[in-house]
Structure 1
Amino acid sequence: MSSLRPFCLTAWLAAPAAAALLLLTPVSPSRAQQAVQAQAAPAPQQSADPAPASPSQTTVAATSPEQRGITARAIDKVKQVAKSAGDIFSRVPCPAPKDGSKTMGSLPHVAGKLVAGKPVVIVAFGSSSTAGYGASSPDFNYPNRLAAQLRRHYPTADITVINAGVGGEDAPEMMKRLQTQVIDVHPDLVIWQVGTNAVLRNLDPGDTAKMVESGISRIQAAGDADIVLVDPQYSPAVNQRAESAGKMVKLLGKVAELRRVGIFPRFEVMRDWHEKQAIPVEGFVIADGLHMNDWGYACFAQLLGDDIIRSVGQIKIGVNVPADVRAYRPM
Structure 2
Amino acid sequence: MTLTSCYRLVRRLALLSAAAALLFALPQSPLMVHAQSAVQAAPVQGASPPPAQSPQATAAPSIDPQQPKSLTAKAIDKVKQVARSASNIFNRVPCLPPKGVAKKSFISLPHVASKLADGKPVIIVAFGSSSTQGWGSTAPEFTYPNRLAAQLRRQYSAAQISVINAGVGGEDAPEMTKRLQSAVIDQHPDLVIWQVGTNAVLRNLDPSETAKLVDDGVAKMQAAGSDVVLVDLQYSPRVIERPESASKMIKALDRIAELHHVGIFPRFEVMRDWHERQDIPISDFVISDGLHMNDWGYACFAQLLGDDIIRSVGAVKIGVNAPADVPHYRQM
- Shorter-chain TM-score above 0.5: yes
Q: Distance in 1 between matches of 2:321 and 2:259?
A: 22
Q: Distance in 2 between matches of 1:164 and 1:296?
A: 19
Once the two structures are superposed, residues 164-214 of structure 1 have per-residue CA deviations (whole angstroms, 9 ceiling, x without a partner) of 000111111101100101111111100000011111112111211111111
Q: Distance in 2 between matches of 1:315 and 1:266?
A: 24
Once the two structures are superposed, residues 278-309 of structure 1 have per-residue CA deviations (whole angstroms, 9 ceiling, x without a partner) of 11111211121111111111111111111221
Higher mean Cα deviation, 183-192 or 201-210?
Answer: 201-210
SS at match of 2:283: helix
Q: Distance in 2 between matches of 1:202 and 1:135?
A: 26
> Alignment partner for residue 143 of structure 1, among 142, 145, 148?
145
Give the corresponding residue for 2:228: 227
Q: Distance in 1 between matches of 2:44 and 2:228?
A: 63
Give the corresponding residue for 1:297: 298
SS at match of 2:162: strand
Cα shift at 1:228:
0.7
Give the corresponding residue for 1:179: 181
Aligned AA (1:237): R
Q: Do the aligned partners of 1:111 and 1:308 also contact (CA within 8 Å) in 2?
A: no
Give the corresponding residue for 2:283: 282
Q: Do the aligned partners of 2:107 and 2:262 also contact (CA within 8 Å) in 1?
A: no
Cα shift at 1:88:
4.7
Higher mean Cα deviation, 289-298 or 100-109?
Answer: 100-109
Cα gap change, 1:102 to 1:219, in 2 (>3 Å): closer
Q: Distance in 2 between matches of 1:151 and 1:203?
A: 38
Cα gap change, 1:85 to 1:320, in 2 (>3 Å): closer
Aligned AA (1:317): I
Once the two structures are superposed, residues 3-43 of structure 1 have per-residue CA deviations (whole angstroms, 9 ceiling, x without a partner) of x754534636998xxxxxxxxxxxxxxxxxxxxxxx96999
Give the corresponding residue for 1:316: 317
Cα gap change, 1:102 to 1:132, in 2 (>3 Å): same
Give the corresponding residue for 1:168: 170
SS at match of 1:121: strand
Cα gap change, 1:50 to 1:144, in 2 (>3 Å): same
Cα gap change, 1:231 to 1:12, in 2 (>3 Å): farther
Give the corresponding residue for 1:153: 155
Q: Distance in 1 between matches of 2:290 and 2:313?
A: 36
SS at match of 1:263: strand
Give the corresponding residue for 1:330: 328
Give the corresponding residue for 1:32: none
Aligned-residue CA RMSD in angstroms? 3.4
Q: Do the aligned partners of 1:130 and 1:193 also contact (CA within 8 Å) in 2?
A: yes
Give the corresponding residue for 1:101: 103
Q: Distance in 2 between matches of 1:127 and 1:12?
A: 34
Give the corresponding residue for 1:20: none
Q: Distance in 2 between matches of 1:157 and 1:84?
A: 17
Cα gap change, 1:42 to 1:235, in 2 (>3 Å): farther
Q: Do the aligned partners of 1:187 and 1:225 also contact (CA within 8 Å) in 2?
A: yes
SS at match of 1:163: strand
Q: Do the aligned partners of 1:264 and 1:329 also contact (CA within 8 Å) in 2?
A: no
What is the TM-score with the length of structure 2 in the denominator? 0.74
Gaps of 5+ in 2: 13-37, 60-83
Aligned AA (1:289): G
Aligned AA (2:298): Y
Give the corresponding residue for 2:8: 11
* Paired residues for 1:22-37 under 5 Å: none
Give the corresponding residue for 2:81: none
Cα gap change, 1:111 to 1:84, in 2 (>3 Å): closer
Cα shift at 1:220:
2.0
Q: Distance in 2 between matches of 1:286 and 1:14?
A: 25
Percent identity over the alignment is: 64
Give the corresponding residue for 2:204: 202
Higher mean Cα deviation, 134-143 or 92-101?
Answer: 92-101
Aligned AA (2:179): R
SS at match of 1:117: coil
* Paired residues for 1:242-257 under 5 Å: 242-257=243-258
How many residues align structurally?
282
Give the corresponding residue for 2:217: 215
Q: Distance in 2 between matches of 1:47 and 1:163?
A: 52
Gaps of 5+ in 1: 16-38, 54-59, 70-82
Q: Distance in 1 between matches of 2:102 and 2:89?
A: 24
Q: Do the aligned partners of 1:106 and 1:311 also contact (CA within 8 Å) in 2?
A: yes
Q: Distance in 1 between matches of 2:145 and 2:296?
A: 14
Q: Do the aligned partners of 2:234 and 2:267 also contact (CA within 8 Å) in 1?
A: yes
- The answer to whether residue 264 in structure 2 is matched with residue 263 in structure 1 is yes
* Paired residues for 1:111-122 under 5 Å: 111-122=113-124
Q: Distance in 1 between matches of 2:136 and 2:306?
A: 21
Q: Distance in 2 between matches of 1:215 and 1:91?
A: 33
